[in-house]
Each structure stands twice: as structure tokens, then as C-alpha cells.
Amino acid sequence: MTRTCLLGLGFFSISLTWALYNAFVPLFLDDYLKKASMIGFMMTIDNYLSLFIQPWIGYRSDRTRTRYGRRMPYLLIGMPLAAVFVTLIPWYTSLTTLILFMVLMNLSMSLFRSPTVALMPDITPEPQRTKANGVINLMGGLGSVLAFGVGSALYGVGSYVPFLGAGVVMLLSMFILKIVIQEPYALQQAGGMEKKPRIRIKDQLDRTTILILLAIFFWFVAYQGVEALFTLYGTKHLGMSDKAASFSLTFFSLAFLVFALPSGWLGAKYGKKRIISSGVVGLLLVFGAIIFVQSTLLLRVLLIAGGIFWACININSYPWIVSTGREESIGTRTGLYYLVSSLAAIISPPLLGLMMDMFGYQVLFVAASSGLVLAFLCLLAIRQNSARVDMPESPASSL
């Protein structure tokens, strides 16, 4: 448990940095770009980089052999660079320098995100990974909450202060991870004598993996579309104020945060596929019910339920995609996970936005529900015995 919580510092620093980035960088861009569509496009740079860099970095980390380990070299390079560039962002002097710092910061984050995530299954026995994923997602959620709470106050002192704080937290996290985390595959000498396993991405794409990746894509299409367009739905369709609509999403996020640990425990006890399927069905019922809701109170109650079901899906999905492959392919599968989720983040908001333009704002949750139906169909197509380690945790196992 201690190592898992300390590894959570990496997720804490990543979530803290991204939350600050997403909250304040649009304000910097607004100094130069007056169209919201252009600002929105600039804010998706990370997703485009994730499509290409993170799968490749994850794949490379599986084949890396140094005296520091497989994953740690990427953290030791990427985290200091990201700390520098996130600190530089508020010191922009023109649109060119702002975009330059944004791109360099995104590139630096892409260098170590997949290896950081892959460290969790590296150091955690398979039956305990859903619990561990719950812990590190809880740490990540706390980072986001801290960014919005404390970060907003620090921003009032000076726009550079929260970004400087994020850089310091990232460097401290790197030093702690370097000292505490000992990778099981680390060798005493760089290069080592161990033969590198031959891992090819196409070899990982068996029927089960493809179906899981499709399911992940479809439920992220549903989630990303709602997250991006809910405020517009609330104000235009339900007649809520901007503040009330945005505040309503807090209920979803807090429910996810609170249920992160229980959902990991449930996945370990009853099996990842079973809990994910329950989450997909539950979230489908919630989104289907919201279509007919006009009451703000009832809407927020449903969003709380939705956050719980989303935790069941999200906390268990990454350990599941990792568990269906070999241990030496963890980084590769981590990259594939981020590839499909990033692709969904790129496609979903404009696609669902176009549907809202064509058919009205009420179509948002109809379209999101359709994505969850497709995800559930993918889950049904997965043979139970093909997920070789998707078994409940034995009573003797503990995190």
C-alpha cells in the first residue's frame, strides 16, 4: 500500500499540472485568439500527441534495459523538462512563445505519462491492480481538486505562481519516485545481459484486446462528449445559468473520486469485466434517464449515480487491458489504452456538437447513450475464458 501511495505522487503531479493547464491556459490564449473554436483546438494538442508519442514511448519502455530500470529513465528525462516548460508558460510574451511553451510542455508530458502509468502493474501483483488503480486515481483526483482550489487562490497572487508550484511538485515527485520505487526489471548495468523480448504492437492485437479497446473507445466517446458539452446542454436546453451548469458536473467528479477505492475493491473481488459491465449498464440507465429530466436537483442526483458507475468502468479498465497480455507488454498496452482514449477525446466533442447543431441540444445524452450501447455490445462479444486473468481475487490476497 505504501509503494502504491507513493507511486500515486506521480499521478498527483500529472493531474495537478493538467488541471492548472486546462483551467488557465485558455485565458492566456484569449489574449490573442478571439474565437472559442480556435482556443478549443489549441487545447487539444495533448490528445494529438497522445495518438502517436505515448503508444511509441510505452512500446519503447517495454524494451528499455538500463541500471535505472525500464520506466524510470523516461521519468528522469520527461518530468524535469515538463517542470521547466509548465513554469515558463505564464511568462509568454507573444502568441508564438505561448504556443512554443505549450507544445514543449505537452511533448515533455508525453515522454513519461505511459511509463508512469505502466509502473503500477510493474510493481503490483495482478490480483491487486484494480485496488492499486483506485488508490492512484484517488491521488490524481486530489491533485485536480487541489489545482482548482489552491491554484485559483495562488493565481490571484500572480498568474505564474500556480504554474511554479506545479513545477516544484513535479520535481519533488520525481525525486521521491526515484528513491522509493525499485523496478523488478531493473538491471545492475546499463544494457544488461538479459535479452530484450521481441514485442510488436500488432502481436498484441488479438480478438480480446481489440474488443476491449473498442469498448474503451466507445465509452470514452460517451464520457468525453458529455464532459465537453454538458455546460452548453445545461444552459441551452435546461435553462440553467453558466455557474449552475458547470457546478452540476462537480457532483459527477466528486462521486467518481469517492468511489475510486470501492470500485477497485469490487473489481478485485468480483472480476474486472463484471464490474465494468455493471458500470456501463448503470451509466447507460443514468444517461437515458437524464434525457427526460428537467429538475436541477434530480439531475444532480443522477450525476452522482453516474460518477459512481463511471468509477466502476474507469478504475477497472486499465488493469483489465493490461491483464490480457504478457507482463513484458505492459508499456505497449498502456500506450494502446491512451491511443484509443485520446482518439475518443478528439472525435467525440466535435461529433456530438455537430449532432446537437443538427438535431437540437437534447440529442447529447441520446448520442452518449448510443456510445455506451456499443461499448456494452463489445463487452458481450468477449469470451469469458479469453480474459485469462480476469478472476476475482483470492481471499488471501491483499494490497
264 and 366 both lie in a single domain: yes
Domain-embedded: residue 280: yes
Domain-embedded: residue 85: yes
Give the domain-ending residue among 133, 150, 180.
180
233 and 155 both lie in a single domain: no
Domain-embedded: residue 172: yes
- Beta-carbon contacts of 310 under 8 Å, excluding residues fewer than 6 positions away, are 223, 252, 256, 279, 283
157 and 244 both lie in a single domain: no
Distance CA 4, CA 148 (A): 24
Domain-embedded: residue 111: yes
Domain-embedded: residue 237: yes
231 and 369 both lie in a single domain: yes
Give the whole-number percent of the chain exceeding pLDDT 70: 89
The answer to whether residues 121 and 129 touch, using CB atoms and an 8 Å cutoff, is: yes
Tell whether the torsion through CA atoms of 198, 199, 205 and 208 is positive or negative.
positive
For 370, phi then psi, to 5°, come to -65, -40
Give the whole-number percent of the chain exceeding pLDDT 90: 38
11 and 100 both lie in a single domain: yes
Q: How many domains would you assign to the chain?
A: 2
Report pTM: 0.78
What is the 3-state composition of the chain as percent helix, strand, coil, each rounded to the nearest 5?
80, 0, 20
54 and 150 both lie in a single domain: yes
Summarize pLDDT for 339-360 with one digit per residue, the tens.
899 899 888 888 888 888 889 8
42 and 134 both lie in a single domain: yes
Q: Residue 365 pLDDT more than 90?
A: yes
137 and 243 both lie in a single domain: no
142 and 272 both lie in a single domain: no
Domain-embedded: residue 139: yes
Give the domain-ending residue among 145, 180, 215.
180
110 and 257 both lie in a single domain: no
DSSP characters over 236-295: HTS---HHHHHHHHHHHHHHHHHTHHHHHHHHHHH-HHHHHHHHHHHHHHHHHHHTT---
The single residue listed with the C-alpha cell 541500471 is: 67
260 and 382 both lie in a single domain: yes
Summarize pLDDT for 131-159 with one digit per residue, the tens.
888 888 888 878 877 776 787 788 888 88
Domain-embedded: residue 372: yes
Helices (H) and strands (E) in the chain, counts: 14, 0
Burial of 59-72, coded b for 16+ CB within 10 Å and e otherwise, reads bbbbebbbebbbbb
Domain of 31: which CATH number?
Answer: 1.20.1250.20
265 and 381 both lie in a single domain: yes
For 191, phi then psi, to 5°, come to 90, -40
Domain-embedded: residue 58: yes
DSSP characters over 45-91: HHHHHHHHHHHHHHHHHHH---TT-SSHHHHHHHHHHHHHHHHHGGG
The answer to whether residues 122 and 133 touch, using CB atoms and an 8 Å cutoff, is: no
Domain enclosing residue 117, as ranges:
2-180
Summarize pLDDT for 15-68 with one digit per residue, the tens.
889 888 877 888 888 889 877 667 767 877 877 877 788 888 888 888 888 888
